[in-house]
Amino acid sequence: MRMKLNKSSQLVLVSAAGLLAATLVTACSQLTQTLTVDFVFVASSKAAGANNYGEINAFEINSESGRMRQIPSSPFPSGGRDPVAEAVSADYGSLFVANQDDNSIVQFVIGTDGKLYPYNTVNTPGIFPLALAANKSNLYVVDTYQPLPVCSTAQPCSGSVAVYPLSAATTSTPATLGAPVSNPAISATYWPLTLPGKTDIIVPTAINVLASGAYVYVTAYDSSVTPAVGYVFGFSAGSGGVLTPVAGSPFAAGTQPSAIASSASNSYVYVTDYAKADVLAYSVGGSGALTPLAGSPFRSGNQPSAIVADPAYSFVYVANSLDATVTAYSVSSGALTSLGTYTTGTQPVAIGIDPSTERFVYTANYLGNTVSGWQLSTTAGTLLESQYSPFAANAQPTAVAAIPHNGTGGGVQQP
């Protein structure tokens, strides 16, 4: 005997079937997709324990809310004392961390889940590394002092820059650091940052390599004069990583340059002046020479300590350490126009933009022991604070670096 259903019963069954199908689709999507858009690695310079080794907090960014949440197993040991700088390999497979008190660079392999696995440790040619930059071919390291017997904290000397070639990753090995490149001019594995004909002590502060890889720029200031005088040292990157000073280098850069960034077009370089509270803007010539732009310098907040240029949109963001703010700028022909300021945690000293969508901005707040996050408007450049920001980090965070999670955009397919 077959039961006959009336129309209302048929509608109920159809609705239930539709709901079940939708539930299955949603469950399938949850199994195959994730809202994690990036992994952000934050170096914290002070950690517990007898050795006082640093730590690396690994955060995942939610593509919808911008919320940053530490992944399981985070934080990870930095492999040394006082980590102060980070850089990511061009293939996003490795994180390089400079541990200042150990004169070491630790290479971590980055897992697909954002976890860090120590792979290699090298000592820097100079003393006290303070800044890193990486591209497909090389890892660039800035040391506070040259490797000379007379150099120490008690008797400072000028800084230097070193170059480590990077071999391409294979299916079984990550990108590998080679031996530091030799400077043929002095038969040593570093390039001194000095002024021609002078013995003044030059204090380096930051480094940037253009997206093209053609030129490398190091900010520094002369501490032997009062007030200090700032410079940008420019180098062309030749075959095998050998550096050659750019004609006219070093270039004048205010009083105390503190951070440097460049546009994705390779056309402009931006330098923050910690002492004068402004941003200097330069155009990059065909030979790598820097020429100040009309209207430069542009006003920032007090004690600007970090800067980043959005690689996809015409915006620049500066972290102002004394004010605990970020200043947003729009960019037109290299010139900057302020769009407003946004509150961070206490003393922001590093800033980054997510490499997946170029829509999320974050700062490491040294005295706040936090990370602040925002979502930027791709049309206006303004910032909207991320859900639950600021986010707790370990003590005294100093640097940030990030990789995209399995591609680009939200809801990225899992492998």
Burial category of 78 from C-beta neighbours within 10 Å (exposed 0-12, middle 13-18, buried 19 and up): buried
32 against 257, higher pLDDT: 257
- Predicted pLDDT at 304: 98
| Residue whose C-alpha is closest to residue 49's, from 75, 72, 70 | 75
Q: Average pLDDT over the chain, rounded to whole?
A: 89
- Predicted pLDDT at 7: 43
Average pLDDT over residues 391-402: 95
Average pLDDT over residues 286-298: 97
Q: What is the CA radius of gyration of the chain?
A: 24
- Predicted pLDDT at 172: 85
Average pLDDT over residues 219-248: 96
The H or E element spanning position 17 is helix 7-32
Q: What is the pLDDT of residues 81-125, one digit of tens each?
A: 999 999 999 999 999 999 999 999 999 999 999 999 999 999 999
Distance of CA 141 to the CA centre of its chain: 14
- Predicted pLDDT at 46: 76
Is 29 a residue whose pLDDT tops 90? no
Q: What is the pLDDT of residues 327-365, one digit of tens each?
A: 999 999 999 999 999 999 999 999 999 999 999 999 999
CATH superfamily assigned to domain 36-413: YVTN repeat-like/Quinoprotein amine dehydrogenase (2.130.10.10)
Name the pTM for this structure. Answer: 0.89
Is 5 a residue whose pLDDT tops 50? no
- Predicted pLDDT at 58: 97
Query: What is the C-alpha to C-alpha distance for residues 336 and 323, in angstroms, rounded to an integer?
Result: 20
Is 366 a residue whose pLDDT tops 80? yes
Is 146 a residue whose pLDDT tops 60? yes
- Predicted pLDDT at 103: 94
Q: What is the pLDDT of residues 259-288, one digit of tens each?
A: 999 999 999 999 999 999 999 999 999 999
Is 164 a residue whose pLDDT tops 90? yes
As a whole-number percent, the residues of the chain with pLDDT over 90 amount to 80
- Predicted pLDDT at 53: 84
| Residue whose C-alpha is closest to residue 363's, from 407, 328, 411 | 328
| Residue whose C-alpha is closest to residue 318's, from 363, 373, 371, 268 | 363
| CB distance 115 to 76 below 8 Å | yes
Average pLDDT over residues 306-332: 97
pLDDT band at 1 (very low <50, low <70, confident <90, very high): very low
